Amino acid sequence: MPVVPPLETRNYPGHSELCAYMKKVAEAVPHLVHLFTIGESPEGRPLMLAEVTNQGTGAASLKPALWVDGNIQGAEVAGSVAALALLQRLAADHGRDELVTFLLDTRTFYILPRVDPDGAEFSLQWGAVRPPSNRARRVVPGDVDGDGRILQMRQKDPQGGWKASRRDPRLLLRRAPDDRQGPFYRLDSEGFLGGDGTRPDRDLARNFPGREASGALREPEARAVAHFLRSHPNVGLGLSLRSSQGRILTPAWAGSPPSDRTLIRQLGLRAEEITGCPLMEDVQDGDLADWMGFELGIPCLRSSLWSLPRMAGLERECTELSEVEYLAILRWLDRERAGAGFVPWGLCQHPQLGAVEIGGWDLLTTWLNPPPGEALTLDCRRNVDLALSLAGALPRLVAACREEQVGWADADESGQEGLHLPVPLRKVVLEIANEGYLPTWVSERARVGADRFVVEVTPPAGGGLLVGSARTLVEPLAGVATSHLFSEIQAPWSVSSSEGQSKSLEWLVRGDGEVRLRVHHPRAGSLEYRTSGEEAPALPPPPPPPVYALAPPPRVGGAPPSAGRTSSVPPPSQPSSEPATRGESPVVASPPSPVAGYRPAARLPQLAGEARPASSGALHRAGSPSDAATPGPPSSELTEMPVTSVREDSPLRKEAPGRVLGETTTGRVLGAPPTRPGPVHRSLEEALPSATLPESSGPGSGSPSPSRPLPPVRLPGGPAEPPPAAAPPVEEGWGAPPSGSRIPAPLLLRRSRQPEGKNP
């Protein structure tokens, strides 16, 4: 697997070398770096741009972006190396550095290392600046002495404006207003006469429309940059890498709202802390940074970090230096660079001007750019840190989605005629917020007509939205520092709030399956969620209607019934082998049988899922316990109750909660949650008005007579148990054991096993 190559800072790369390095980085990490050509220079050199982001976390156009350009002025080639250093840091440290990984997962970097490739190629080839033609002398830059570089050319002239220093003859100083003691010199760039003086200025930094200039964008490079920025609304901040002033420059933004001026100053102060360079406002009009703020509302900083006087230990800039300070710079070059940076003057015969001296400052690696090596590495590191800081200030869209099942609804269509299967009702809540420093509108200038959040919801297949819209527009969200920007006092005690940083939306969705939500904002990014009803905490499905069987008639001879109770049919998910638990349907226990050897505990209550007894016409025979436990043949009909009436205090009315004919039911299926009251049925008297006991019932049959109530239950050695009618009423709850259950207590069972007249 290719490895991201290190960046070489021992020299400044030509344009072909720069493009080759960018291609190697893109080949090493194709999931992070994509290369594009956004235009060409007049000499046919491509404007190669790198789009850097983690493609696995989303497309580059769907993330907030930072624009970084370098070398917009041909001679300031240090900006292109700093842009390459940013590209190398992002590509090599993703997955290893926490900050870089976070930024590439959530942001996009658009890096154009060299805006003016023609001017940079000229400066690197000849070691000089390609200035506009001199109208007075019509000097065209060229190599007069044939040493492969273009320096400076001086010629003695009584009308000249320069004078050699008496302390060091290498240094030329401006002529004082009253100075009459020569010799004086005329100073030009090394070159030849013959220019026509009509060459246009190639300063691309000043080729953009400003507040007062509307006819700019003359050069193809400027038009290509402007077109790219206009077609990429996700760009929220800009950083233009320059090199020769030793300052952080902010656009003037004259006429902008106070909050915008506060914002650009806060960004500049943070850049000042990172780089150590002072902050200054650029009042010139027509610069790229000024145009980005004026037309697009994008704050853009200019980073001009290199300063030769500051490197030599001075505090002032070159335009304010005295003779002594210039001499100190020469001493620093002699000491730190072995004299490189200033070429001694040498006499040369010019074919047009005669005797001239050629030499002077090597401007490319002294005043305009840091010398290759350690100074250039330090300059690149500070610019990279500044770019990462600005990217962290971009708006950041975050969202949280949750869903909750709130009920059930009938399906619009069913698979079978007359059968309506229930479908879930789900509440979907989406909370969006901006965790970035900047608001989503970035600046007040861009807030007018700023795009709003677009929230789109796609319901599941076969479902729909009952509450809420499939497409919702949400107002832009404030940022972390928005309240500070509108504060008149920027002090530690100024009050701020997070008002306007978040928004909550809700929908009511019918149907199960996947629900897709997409949130998009041009400058804050995009997020997409997919929710499924299986992942949400769903309510249990509505239980099937309960089915009940009436109790069979008592056995002849008082034998214990094998299934003598009313049982509700459990749902399919309830195992039939589990023991009955609290909350099952109640059980009515028959009185102990007087048959000798009968033990009441031998027959447990009928469990859920146990087979029902046979129809009313089939009676169980008396026999062994195995015979008693063996169910009769199955029957598809319900067993009828051979009684004439049911009293209010009868145990029958206290069977399975509420599931008695003639009452409003609140019964439940075993293992199912409580349900709402069911329909009202006819009373048992209406249903069976003439039902009577079978002929075999009577005093000697062992069955109770229909004309007298059940006798009290008297256990051996214990008091008589009152009949069910005499038991105190107990209020039944949905989770309490039913009061109709008459299972003998364990103590009574033990006492029933003891011989009469003997204490346990």
Same domain, yes or no, for 64 and 133? no
In a domain, 564, yes or no: no
C-alpha separations of 248 from 35, 92, 188, 382, 386 in Å: 29, 27, 31, 12, 11
Chosen domain end from 481, 503, 532: 532
pLDDT tens, position by position, 205-234: 888 887 665 557 889 999 999 999 999 999
Same domain, yes or no, for 401 and 516? yes
Q: Provide CB contacts within 8 A for 233, sequence distance 6+.
A: 451, 522, 523
DSSP label at residue 680: B
Q: What is the pLDDT of residue 356?
A: 95
Of 48-62, 173-187, 312-326, give the lowest mean pLDDT range.
312-326
Distance, CA of 225 to chain centre: 30
Indicate the pTM of the whole model.
Answer: 0.69
pLDDT confidence bin for 253, thresholds 50/70/90: confident
Q: What is the pLDDT of residue 255?
A: 75
Of 85-99, 136-150, 277-291, 723-737, give the lowest mean pLDDT range.
723-737
Q: What is the pLDDT of residue 160?
A: 93
Mean pLDDT is highest, among 512-516, 554-558, 668-672, for 512-516
In a domain, 461, yes or no: yes
- Residue 699, pLDDT > 60, answer no
Same domain, yes or no, for 244 and 293? yes
Q: Could you tell me the strand order of the sheet in which 422-434 lies? A: 397-410, 422-434, 502-510, 464-467
In a domain, 489, yes or no: yes
- Residue 599, pLDDT > 60, answer no
pLDDT tens, position by position, 323-378: 999 999 999 999 999 988 999 999 999 999 999 999 999 999 999 999 999 999 99
- Residue 316, pLDDT > 90, answer no
In a domain, 280, yes or no: yes
Domain that holds residue 515: 395-411+425-532
Residue found under tokens 């008589």: 720
In a domain, 28, yes or no: yes
Q: What is the pLDDT of residue 5?
A: 95
In a domain, 95, yes or no: yes
Same domain, yes or no, for 89 and 135? no
In a domain, 471, yes or no: yes
Same domain, yes or no, for 148 and 207? no
Q: What is the pLDDT of residue 132?
A: 56
CATH number, residue 255: 3.40.630.10
Q: What is the pLDDT of residue 493?
A: 58
> What span, in angstroms and rounded, lies between the C-alpha atoms of 117 and 44?
9
DSSP 552-606: PPPPTTSPPPSS-S--BPPPTTS-TTSPP-TTS----PPPPP-STT--GGGSPPP
DSSP 494-555: -----TTSEEEEEEEEESSSEEEEEEEETTTEEEEEEEETTTS-PPPPPPPPP-B-PPPPPP
pLDDT tens, position by position, 529-581: 888 755 444 445 555 555 544 445 555 444 444 443 433 333 333 334 444 44
- Residue 80, pLDDT > 90, answer yes
- Residue 188, pLDDT > 80, answer yes
| Number of independent structural domains in the chain | 3
> What span, in angstroms and rounded, lies between the C-alpha atoms of 557 and 215?
116
Higher pLDDT, residue 400 or 201: 400
Of 2-6, 638-642, 649-653, give the lowest mean pLDDT range.
638-642
Contact (Cβ atoms closer than 8 angstroms) between residue 50 and residue 28:
no
Q: What is the pLDDT of residue 257?
A: 85
- Residue 110, pLDDT > 50, answer yes
Same domain, yes or no, for 31 and 96? yes
- Residue 194, pLDDT > 90, answer no
Q: What is the pLDDT of residue 216?
A: 77
Nearest-CA neighbor of 225 among 217, 233, 235?
217
In a domain, 403, yes or no: yes
Same domain, yes or no, for 386 and 406? no
pLDDT confidence bin for 589, thresholds 50/70/90: very low
Higher pLDDT, residue 355 or 202: 355
Same domain, yes or no, for 501 and 353? no
pLDDT confidence bin for 721, thresholds 50/70/90: very low
Average pLDDT of 31-54?
A: 96
Own/partner contacts of 481-487, CB < 8 Å, gap of 24 or more, are: 481/263, 481/266, 481/437, 481/438, 482/439, 484/262, 484/266, 485/259, 485/262, 485/263, 485/266, 486/259
pLDDT confidence bin for 444, thresholds 50/70/90: confident
User: What's the start-to-end Cα distance of the chain, in Å?
Assistant: 88
Q: Are strands 184-189 and 162-164 parallel, antiparallel or unpaired?
A: antiparallel
Same domain, yes or no, for 33 and 86? yes
Same domain, yes or no, for 99 and 88? yes
How many other CB atoms are found less than 10 A from the CB of residue 381? Answer: 14
Same domain, yes or no, for 101 and 133? no
pLDDT confidence bin for 723, thresholds 50/70/90: very low
Chosen domain end from 517, 532, 547: 532
Q: Provide CB contacts within 8 A for 590, sequence distance 6+.
A: 554, 560, 561, 564
- Residue 666, pLDDT > 90, answer no
CATH number, residue 401: 2.60.40.150
Numbers of helices and strands, H then E, in the chain: 15, 26
pLDDT confidence bin for 64, thresholds 50/70/90: very high
Whether omega before 183 lies within 30 degrees of 0, making that bond cis, reads yes
Same domain, yes or no, for 261 and 353? no
Q: What is the mean pLDDT of the chain?
A: 74
- Residue 22, pLDDT > 80, answer yes
